[in-house]
Amino acid sequence: MKRFFCYIAFIGMLSTGCKKAAYLMYNDIARIQLNDTSSLNATFVYDAPSVVRDTIYVQINTIGGFSDHDRAVKILQTTEYDYTYVRDTVTNQIVDTIFTEKPFKAVPGVHYVDFNDPSLQPLMVVRAGNVIDSIPIVLLRDTSLKTNSYRLRIQLQPNAEFGLGEVGVREKTIVFSDHLERFYSWRVDSYVAPAYAYFGKYSTGKHQFMIDVLKVNIDEAWYQAAVAAGAMNEYKALIKQALVNFNNDPANIASGKAPLRETDVPTSAVITFP
């Protein structure tokens, strides 16, 4: 019995030592990581033609306490890839991986202000006294955004002020254009995005229909205001009834506009709401 207790004590010391070592890995120096890695969508479509820039903010979390001075944050653009796995025809085991660069990579100076631009440097900081802050990403309204959605993948970098935090929260993609895009609360087709519970699967056709019915910009600001007002169920009921009316309109049926579909392609999915 005595040897058993000694063994437990020894294991306990090892466990404590391991936990302490792991803890120190991320608390030995000041470190940064992103608040979340969900893709962020932005669009100029609601803005007047005179608006040629838009600034969005990415939240930065620090580890290791606050400081009495502003601390510079360094980020860079990185490349995104799609992965295709090649499998053995007999064993079905993966034998190779093909990397293909994602299209429409944002170009600095064309689609966004370069992160090293002197005008941005005073803003690319965690301000004194803060452990959480936001850095600006300045998007530019190039004409190419009318036809395509461009992608800006940002990656945190170590510098004199900060090391890096958790591996899984160092990169984030910003997708932006000059046409309809998902807003943050409808960023994915799952209940991770709260708007999905009200509107279901996203499509630009559905999004445009909602705008046409409600006569407002359906974006993150609208969604948050509607939630705060407790009006989401009323809006959902109104939109669903409008869809029923549209699809039952004899003129829409005769012209082929009904039932309303996600795209102009006749075989695309019919728009529905939960």
Residue 165: closest CA among 155, 175, 153? 155
Q: What is the pLDDT of residues 128-169, one digit of tens each?
A: 999 999 999 999 999 999 999 999 999 999 999 999 999 999
pTM of the model: 0.79
Distance between CA atoms of residues 73 and 99, nearest Å: 30
User: Residue 245: helix, strand or coil by DSSP?
Assistant: helix
Question: Please, are residues 222 and 230 in contact by the beta-carbon 8 Å criterion?
Answer: no
Q: What are the angstrom distances between the C-alpha of 176 and each of 163, 169, 190?
A: 29, 21, 21
Q: What is the pLDDT of residues 82-114, one digit of tens each?
A: 988 889 888 889 988 898 999 999 999 999 999
Q: 269 — phi, psi (to 5°)?
A: -65, 145
The alpha helices in the chain, defined as continuous H runs, are 2-25, 196-199, 204-214, 220-228, 232-248, 250-255
Distance between CA atoms of residues 152 and 115, nearest Å: 12
Q: What are the angstrom distances between the C-alpha of 264 and each of 195, 258, 259?
A: 24, 11, 11
Q: What is the pLDDT of residues 203-224, one digit of tens each?
A: 999 999 999 999 999 999 999 9
| pLDDT tier, 42 (very low <50, low <70, confident <90, very high otherwise) | very high
Residue 140: closest CA among 110, 116, 106? 110
**83-84-90 Cα angle (round to 5):** 145
Domains of the chain: 30-181 (2.60.40.2030), 188-274 (no CATH)
> Tell me, what amino acid is at 81?
Y
Distance between CA atoms of residues 40 and 265, nearest Å: 27
